[in-house]
Structure 1
Amino acid sequence: MSRPSFSVASGPPGSTRRPARLRARLLSVLAALGLALGALVGLPGAAQAAGSLPCDLYGDAGTPCVAAHSTVRALFSSYNGPLYRVTRVLDGAATDIGLLAPGGYADAGRQDTFCGGTSCRITRIYDQTSRHNDLNPGPAGTAGMGADRGADASELAVTAGGHKVYGIFTSPGVGYRSTGAASGVAVNGQPEGVYMVASGTHVGSACCFDYGNAESTPADTGNGHMDAVSIATTCYFAPCTGSGPWVEADLENGMFQGDNGSNTANRGNNSTYVTAVLKNNGQTRYALKGGNSQSGGLTTWWDGGLPTRGGYKPMHQEGGIILGTGGDNSNWNMGTFFEGAMVAGYPSDAVENAVQANIVSVGYSGQTNVPNGPQGTITGPGGKCVDVAADDTGVNGAAVQLWDCQSYAEDQHWTHNPDGSLSTISRCLDVVGNSSANDAKLELYDCNGVGGQKWVQQADGSLRNPQSGRCLDAPGGATGNGTRLQIHDCDGSAAQKFALG
């Protein structure tokens, strides 16, 4: 979707996939349901079962995955390739994070070793099908924002299958996109389905936290040119029931919950983990479903006609893929992504129920609403936190200031790197112009190793910049929200007490 007017058929690499007999499909579905039942009643059992993962289930039902993305686990039982790539902020070195075993869970330990003591970004999310529909940070679009940045790789650790794994913690400015039209993805009114596991607690109302089909270039090309699932508190077509978040369909120029937008039957999904499902036959009909990814089944919020507003019957999809943004790269919203897939054809209710059962069997656990990585807060005068202006967007030159501490604010969580720098949202605490002058202001800037980015904690609680010999300082001891920080002669005053959390 574009910025709203209101305020804010393939298998894994190396495999050949053929339509299965009905008996095989039923066995796969029953196996997945059995796994979910075991999880629900607390019975021990394997976290994954051969042939029972989401893309196996979709493929056996005749609606094969054409794109499959996750930083958590394999979505094919035979997949044994990389899930995602991490890149260190300080030196640009990169490595791919794969699986502990074929068809299994992410090797988070490899990421921890590679990124230990410093910041990493997720710079690629690999497609697990043989189509190579990989996602990279998206380019600037017609929404007016700059190019996207990759998410902080260590910002949100959760548990899946009994293993530590990382989700993609999306905040304004973070987003991913395929290059051009992706292979096999629906275009020009073809049928398709999409699901994702996301957070129902780390959500917002701005545009747009989407996963699915979008324009092949980052521009709004009109109604019906998108077909992406979203979870947000965006009530685009009033009235809405409650305060959300709601599973919605971003069909471009509208977040739809029902026929022409509004659907008061949609009561929302606010569980810690949410399964969000969208399917669209491309001509006349679409359906929306939501469920708790930790227990139970799916609730159908809408199963009926496509909007009668112009441009949606038939659809005009372009086959691009987005994650965390709108079609024109509107990237003001927030969310958390764990796994998702796009399929060719119109999936049956039975296979979607089986996929939900498999998701429940994973045993997702852990908070999803606040960063929980190695970063810590920097608390300064008045108990306020060191914060970056402009709400987590983190562009070069953004002012560094004091602000009320907010546990969910990504730009208040800082990493103290081995070279002495302090970084958040993939950039460093920096003295403007690398100045050593008294009262030089502080900003956020690309980490580049200069002296104006080095900080040493002193015994008296101050943070000293060795290059200038001066200390981090709140001018005149001010403690109000928005107080722009600076460096000043170290004097031991309360204005220079900053505690690393």
Structure 2
Amino acid sequence: MRRKRSAAARVVQGTVVRRVDRYWRALLSTVAAVGLVLGALISLPGAAQAAGSLPCDIYGSAGTPCVAAHSTVRALISSYNGPLYQVTRASDGATANIGLLSQGGYADAGQQDAFCGNSTCAITKIYDQTSRHNDLTPGPAGTSGMGADRGADASELSVTAGGHKVYGIWISPGVGYRSSGAASGVAVNGQAEGAYMVASGTHVGSACCFDYGNAESTPADTGNGHMDAVSIATTCYFAPCTGSGPWVEADMENGMFQGDNGSNTANTGNNSTYVTAMLKNNGQTTYALKGGNSQTGGLRTQWAGALPTRGGYRPMHQEGGIILGTGGDNSNWNMGTFFEGVMVTGYPTDAAENAVQANIVSVGYSGETDVPNGPQGTITGPGGQCVDVAADDTGVNRAAVQLWNCQSYAEDQYWTHHANGSLSTIGRCLDIIGNGTANGTQVELWDCNGVGGQVWNQRADGSLFNPQSGRCLDSPNGATANGTRLRIWDCNGSAAQRFTLH
């Protein structure tokens, strides 16, 4: 069952640049922690970050180098000037790499806008910015019973970072990414590691699993302690929990842990528009969770203490795979929005983590994160209901197209009307079953292929007219109940055939 959520955006502008006199410059050469914090504070939104000031620079200077760095928003290493992600165009299968406006800077969203044009694009690769090439691609089917993952709609959510338009990764059920096997340099068999991600605190759910971090090398649950991923979700796996979340949690396989053996009532959650979620684990006895508002302020420690005493977690048994948006066995039922994240080897210092949070705040993230705001819009029909795809954003071929209560975060209620007359959502088109023309033929979702049964022309009376059949999109007998299956019928100008594209 879907639940509507709201968001409030707050713009944080800039950071304070302080003069450093000779005394402090001399001290900085020997006191690394102070250098880390000041390095993060001298970055300004709207420009490439200063050398040594980005998250992987900070972690590396503290002796915990990045082994993976992923973002569709910005460089996470000051020397990086390569691609951030790859998009694939639905109309012809062509691909394009989306890079940076400048070295160490922000994504060139204009590249994506120009390439995707009147088609839709999916994010089909997220490049690792480290030299290890731990790239992420849509994951294979796993033992959870779910099929292979699809890539996220590339234009689903745009926000502002560093004063520039950028795109986040909108995760819906069925969307997810994974490394191929064990990733290079990622912790295994009880080695220490850390990770963070910047994600939405308003586009969240309670299903399994919106994770980023270490997972099995194959998409299967291989036992307790074989995962070590950070999550933000409304999942209260070990009761009691405080409030309704979302909470920053650790997915260590077979449990979403907030502290010690699971429950931790001191974790009060974080529902800010942007959330910094951090996890570190020494692999043997101890782990910590931290959360913060990515737009302002510092980090709050949610847990710093013992690993679970349940069997399998002391020591950990990580396998070194990397996941984004799913669980280790490819459980991909949850939702979330991802902007950036890294994984490091070793147990990060508090000073390094504080400096990373200061750098994140300096980015000036702004914009809502729970409402799709790309070129698509909703289609409302009889009773003010939305045109919706059955099965909650999974969008497979033959999925029923129906009426349902409008919900701001429901990806499959946002449609793009293309120049060729087609209407698409989650990478597929509104289609008449069997390319049929007879009265009463139902509509469904199907791969966009340019056939006549996928052409819909909006007419002055509000109807959506299909020229091939000579009939209109229709709600049987004007029904408005959730789950009403849509069809084609002789055009008659009734309320049952009035649809508004927003």
TM-score, normalised to structure 1's length? Answer: 0.93
Aligned pairs for 1:27-176 (under 5 A) are 28-35=35-42, 48-176=49-177
The residue that corresponds to 1:203 in the other structure is 204
| 8 Å Cα contact 1:28-1:51 kept in structure 2 | no
Partner Cα separation in structure 1 for residue 31 and residue 207 of structure 2? 44
Query: Counterpart of 2:239 in structure 1: which amino acid?
Result: A
**Secondary structure of the structure 1 residue equivalent to 2:353:** helix
The residue that corresponds to 2:261 in the other structure is 260
Partner Cα separation in structure 1 for residue 187 and residue 37 of structure 2? 29
Could you tell which deviates more after superposition, 84-93 or 134-143?
Answer: 84-93
Alignment pair present for 1:275 and 2:282: no
Any idea what the Cα deviations from partners look like across 1:407-462, whole Å, max 9, x if unmatched? 11111100011221111111111111111221111111111222211111112211
Unaligned runs of 5+ in 1: 1-20
The residue that corresponds to 1:469 in the other structure is 470
Aligned pairs for 1:294-309 (under 5 A) are 294-309=295-310
Partner Cα separation in structure 1 for residue 46 and residue 236 of structure 2? 41
Partner Cα separation in structure 2 for residue 497 and residue 128 of structure 1? 49
Partner Cα separation in structure 2 for residue 493 and residue 441 of structure 1? 18
Could you tell which deviates more after superposition, 73-82 or 402-411?
Answer: 402-411
Partner Cα separation in structure 1 for residue 384 and residue 47 of structure 2? 47
What's the offset of the Cα at 1:49?
1.4
The residue that corresponds to 2:18 in the other structure is none
What's the offset of the Cα at 1:395?
1.3
Partner Cα separation in structure 2 for residue 117 and residue 140 of structure 1? 31
Alignment pair present for 1:245 and 2:252: no
The residue that corresponds to 1:218 in the other structure is 219
The residue that corresponds to 1:395 in the other structure is 396
Any idea what the Cα deviations from partners look like across 1:110-153, whole Å, max 9, x if unmatched? 11111122211111100001111000011111111111111111
| 8 Å Cα contact 1:69-1:340 kept in structure 2 | yes
Query: Counterpart of 2:453 in structure 1: which amino acid?
Result: G
What's the offset of the Cα at 1:92?
1.1
Aligned pairs for 1:416-455 (under 5 A) are 416-455=417-456
What's the offset of the Cα at 1:185?
0.4
| 8 Å Cα contact 1:439-1:487 kept in structure 2 | yes
Aligned pairs for 1:327-342 (under 5 A) are 327-342=328-343
What's the offset of the Cα at 1:33?
4.5
Query: Counterpart of 1:418 in structure 2: which amino acid?
Result: A
TM-score, normalised to structure 2's length? Answer: 0.93
Shift in CA distance, 405/102, structure 1 to aligned 2, threshold 3 Å: same
Partner Cα separation in structure 2 for residue 462 and residue 246 of structure 1? 45
What's the offset of the Cα at 1:24?
7.8
| 8 Å Cα contact 2:388-2:403 kept in structure 1 | yes
Partner Cα separation in structure 1 for residue 34 and residue 310 of structure 2? 42
Shift in CA distance, 432/466, structure 1 to aligned 2, threshold 3 Å: same
Any idea what the Cα deviations from partners look like across 1:370-398, whole Å, max 9, x if unmatched? 11111011111111110011111111111
Partner Cα separation in structure 1 for residue 31 and residue 351 of structure 2? 14
Partner Cα separation in structure 2 for residue 32 and residue 488 of structure 1? 65
The residue that corresponds to 2:195 in the other structure is 194
The residue that corresponds to 2:386 in the other structure is 385
| 8 Å Cα contact 2:210-2:233 kept in structure 1 | yes
Shift in CA distance, 221/45, structure 1 to aligned 2, threshold 3 Å: closer
**Secondary structure of the structure 1 residue equivalent to 2:214:** strand
**Structure 1 stretches (4+) deviating beyond 4 angstroms?**
44-47
What's the offset of the Cα at 1:167?
0.4
Alignment pair present for 1:350 and 2:351: yes
Query: Counterpart of 1:363 in structure 2: which amino acid?
Result: G
What's the offset of the Cα at 1:274?
0.4
Shift in CA distance, 440/210, structure 1 to aligned 2, threshold 3 Å: same
Query: Counterpart of 2:213 in structure 1: which amino acid?
Result: G
Unaligned runs of 5+ in 2: 1-27
Partner Cα separation in structure 2 for residue 394 and residue 45 of structure 1? 37
| 8 Å Cα contact 1:48-1:362 kept in structure 2 | no
Query: Counterpart of 2:285 in structure 1: which amino acid?
Result: T
Query: Counterpart of 2:292 in structure 1: which amino acid?
Result: G
Partner Cα separation in structure 2 for residue 253 and residue 30 of structure 1? 36
The residue that corresponds to 2:495 in the other structure is 494
What's the offset of the Cα at 1:216?
0.5
**Secondary structure of the structure 2 residue equivalent to 1:164:** strand
**Secondary structure of the structure 2 residue equivalent to 1:300:** strand
Shift in CA distance, 109/28, structure 1 to aligned 2, threshold 3 Å: farther
| 8 Å Cα contact 1:28-1:52 kept in structure 2 | no
Partner Cα separation in structure 2 for residue 464 and residue 132 of structure 1? 49
CA RMSD of aligned residues (A): 1.4
Query: Counterpart of 2:37 in structure 1: which amino acid?
Result: L
What's the offset of the Cα at 1:45?
8.4
Partner Cα separation in structure 2 for residue 24 and residue 420 of structure 1? 63
Query: Counterpart of 1:35 in structure 2: which amino acid?
Result: I
Name the % identity. Answer: 81
Count of residues in Structure 1 that have an aligned counterpart in Structure 2:
475
The residue that corresponds to 1:310 in the other structure is 311
**Secondary structure of the structure 1 residue equivalent to 2:42:** helix
| 8 Å Cα contact 2:37-2:358 kept in structure 1 | no
Partner Cα separation in structure 2 for residue 96 and residue 33 of structure 1? 28
What's the offset of the Cα at 1:90?
2.0
Partner Cα separation in structure 2 for residue 246 and residue 377 of structure 1? 30
| 8 Å Cα contact 1:35-1:357 kept in structure 2 | no
Could you tell which deviates more after superposition, 138-147 or 246-255?
Answer: 138-147
Partner Cα separation in structure 2 for residue 469 and residue 61 of structure 1? 68
Query: Counterpart of 1:405 in structure 2: which amino acid?
Result: C
| 8 Å Cα contact 1:119-1:417 kept in structure 2 | no
